[in-house]
């Protein structure tokens, strides 16, 4: 009788716990997949935490790997992927496996594991080509040439023995530059978190004694044209008292990064891989960067990276919204998802008008609204923004899923902006 009682008890518990049957609630997986599709990673993380008990072990690992990648815990993400791929059999769809391997590829790239990046790129192109569109395939094939060229190169390292500060110097076109020393020579380079790899002009490679690697891939130059590029590796470079080892540069012809018509020439760009390695940067109003020896855990977790697209959690009214985070944009912009979410109040208070926007492709007109006195918050900091342009119709860009893009009109209202790459936080003071 007692054994029968325990059997009934175990059966009851099992029925209440879907994970014990290793079956996921399809409504939950659809919800999580939808949040990934629209790049709403802050809600994705929250939903995964609250719905984990309704997912199989397999799906928990899958979604955890994606979230850990997005919030820059790359080694942990790869550990989840390796555990998942060790299962004797997987019920993940090919679409999910394609996403999983693309996540693994991003992890290896950002961990400077070039040989593994090559291996995963080749696997995706061989087994999941049919699930990637032509532009994605072209990008994978082009970047594969980079990983092949670098597969015997050592990983980038940083040596930080103390707190370090150094100035940002604005050049004639308004871009921030920093001084960088290589082999006893100090030159200025553009400081750009949006550059997915650092850049140097070809005439400096031999002069600075960099290791040159002839390659066969292309990049899109400032002019919008595709130009051939090679690679170079700096065994050591210094920024202030920071030392970086094995830094990879794209090598571009001098004319491809020069603008003689305005007498503007650059030596190169210090990009995201170098800046992210600092773990934390504090940019003050007096154009000084400070990076502490030991980064602080601000516990905001309001900063995400989709590949190299920075995303920030912005609070408006009682909602948390995903915004693009372009520190180089002069003004904050609002996009179609913002209009759709607050359409009733916007239509009541504002009149549509036509705006003009200039770009490399010419002048583009779009219909929208000019919104005034809009309070936005990041973490515990709030600023009221004026004359924000709100797009009424869809725009064909990588940011089309975001509610807006946070720009300098917000940033400059504070004395200091702190970006913690290590702890996925942005703080304004």
Q: Is the pLDDT of residue 222 over 70?
A: no
Interhelix angle 26-37/41-51, rounded to 10 degrees, is 160
Q: Is the pLDDT of residue 13 over 60?
A: no
Q: What is the pLDDT of residues 105-119, one digit of tens each?
A: 999 999 999 999 999
Query: Ramachandran region of residue 164, left (φ > 0), alpha (ψ -120 to 50) or beta?
Result: beta
Enter the tokens of residue 231.
């690679």
Give the CB-side neighbour count of residue 57, counting CA atoms within 13 A.
10
Of the pLDDT bands very low, low, confident and very high (cuts 50, 70, 90), residue 379 is very high
Percent of the chain with pLDDT over 90: 71
**For position 174, what pLDDT does the model report?**
83
**For position 4, what pLDDT does the model report?**
42
**For position 363, what pLDDT does the model report?**
59
**For position 173, what pLDDT does the model report?**
85
- Could you tell me the CA-to-CA distances from 293 to 163, 179, 180, 286, 391 in Å, in that order? 5, 20, 19, 21, 42
Give the CB-side neighbour count of residue 11, counting CA atoms within 13 A.
6
Contacts of 371 (CB under 8 A, 6+ apart): 334, 346, 350, 387, 388, 389, 390
Q: Is the pLDDT of residue 396 over 80?
A: no
**For position 245, what pLDDT does the model report?**
98
Contacts of 170 (CB under 8 A, 6+ apart): 176, 177, 287
Residue 77: which of 42, 110, 51 has the closest Cα?
110
Query: If you average pLDDT over residues 379-393, what whole number do you get?
Result: 92
Percent of the chain with pLDDT over 70: 91
Query: If you average pLDDT over residues 125-146, what whole number do you get?
Result: 94
Asked whether 407 and 331 are in contact (CB, 8 A), the reply is yes
Query: If you average pLDDT over residues 230-247, what whole number do you get?
Result: 96
Q: Is the pLDDT of residue 21 over 90?
A: no
Give the CB-side neighbour count of residue 341, counting CA atoms within 13 A.
17
Q: Is the pLDDT of residue 299 over 50?
A: yes
What's the whole-model pTM score? 0.87
DSSP annotation of 154 reads: P
**For position 399, what pLDDT does the model report?**
60
Query: If you average pLDDT over residues 152-166, what whole number do you get?
Result: 96
**For position 359, what pLDDT does the model report?**
44
Angle at 153 between CA 105 and CA 75, to 5 degrees: 35
**For position 3, what pLDDT does the model report?**
44
Q: Is the pLDDT of residue 309 over 90?
A: no
Least-confidence region, from 92-101, 195-204, 363-372? 363-372
Query: If you average pLDDT over residues 384-394, what whole number do you get?
Result: 89
Asked whether 384 and 374 are in contact (CB, 8 A), the reply is yes
Of the pLDDT bands very low, low, confident and very high (cuts 50, 70, 90), residue 16 is very low
Structural Rg of the chain based on CA atoms: 24
Of the pLDDT bands very low, low, confident and very high (cuts 50, 70, 90), residue 220 is confident
Query: Ramachandran region of residue 228, left (φ > 0), alpha (ψ -120 to 50) or beta?
Result: beta
Which is higher by pLDDT, 49 or 19?
Answer: 49
Task: Please give the domain boundaries of the chain with CATH numbers for all domains.
Answer: 21-150 (1.25.40), 157-286 (2.40.70.10), 303-428 (2.40.70.10)
**For position 41, what pLDDT does the model report?**
95
Helix, strand and coil percent figures for the chain, each rounded to 5: 35, 35, 30
Asked whether 307 and 105 are in contact (CB, 8 A), the reply is no
């Amino acid at each position: 009788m007692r054994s029968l009682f325990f059997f009934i008890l175990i059966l009851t518990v099992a029925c209440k716990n879907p994970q014990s049957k290793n079956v996921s609630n399809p409504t939950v997986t659809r919800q999580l997949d939808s949040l990934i599709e629209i790049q709403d990673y802050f809600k994705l993380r929250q939903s995964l935490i609250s719905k984990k008990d309704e997912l199989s072990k397999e799906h928990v690992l899958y979604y955890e790997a994606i979230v850990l990648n997005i919030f820059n815990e790359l080694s942990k993400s790869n550990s989840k992927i390796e555990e998942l791929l060790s299962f004797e059999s997987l019920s993940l769809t090919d679409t999910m496996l394609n996403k999983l391997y693309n996540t693994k590829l991003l992890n290896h790239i950002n961990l400077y594991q070039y040989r593994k990046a090559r291996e995963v790129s080749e696997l995706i192109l061989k087994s999941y080509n049919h699930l990637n569109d032509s532009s994605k395939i072209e990008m994978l094939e082009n970047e594969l040439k980079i990983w092949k060229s670098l597969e015997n190169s050592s990983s980038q390292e940083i040596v930080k023995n103390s707190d370090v500060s150094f100035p940002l110097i604005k050049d004639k076109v308004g871009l921030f530059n920093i001084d960088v020393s290589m082999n006893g020579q100090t030159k200025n380079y553009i400081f750009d978190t949006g550059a997915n790899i650092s850049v140097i002009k070809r005439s400096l490679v031999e002069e600075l004694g960099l290791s040159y690697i002839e390659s066969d891939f292309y990049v899109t130059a400032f002019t919008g044209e595709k130009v051939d590029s090679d690679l170079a590796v700096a065994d050591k470079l210094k920024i202030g008292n920071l030392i970086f080892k094995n830094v990879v540069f794209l090598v571009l012809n001098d004319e491809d990064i020069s603008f003689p018509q305005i007498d503007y020439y650059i030596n190169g760009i210090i990009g995201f891989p170098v800046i992210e390695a600092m773990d934390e940067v504090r940019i003050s109003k007096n154009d000084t960067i400070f990076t502490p020896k030991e980064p602080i855990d601000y516990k905001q977790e309001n900063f995400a990276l989709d590949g190299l697209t920075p995303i920030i959690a912005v609070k408006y009214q009682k909602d948390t919204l995903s915004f693009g985070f372009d520190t180089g944009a002069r003004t904050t912009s609002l996009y179609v998802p913002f209009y759709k979410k607050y359409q009733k109040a916007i239509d009541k208070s504002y009149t549509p008008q036509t705006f003009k926007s200039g770009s490399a492709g010419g002048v583009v007109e779009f219909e929208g609204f000019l919104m005034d006195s809009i309070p936005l918050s990041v973490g515990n900091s709030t600023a009221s923004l004026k004359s924000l342009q709100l797009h009424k119709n869809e725009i064909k860009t990588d940011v089309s899923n975001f509610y807006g893009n946070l720009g300098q009109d917000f940033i400059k209202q504070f004395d200091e902006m702190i970006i913690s790459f290590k702890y996925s936080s942005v703080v304004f003071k």
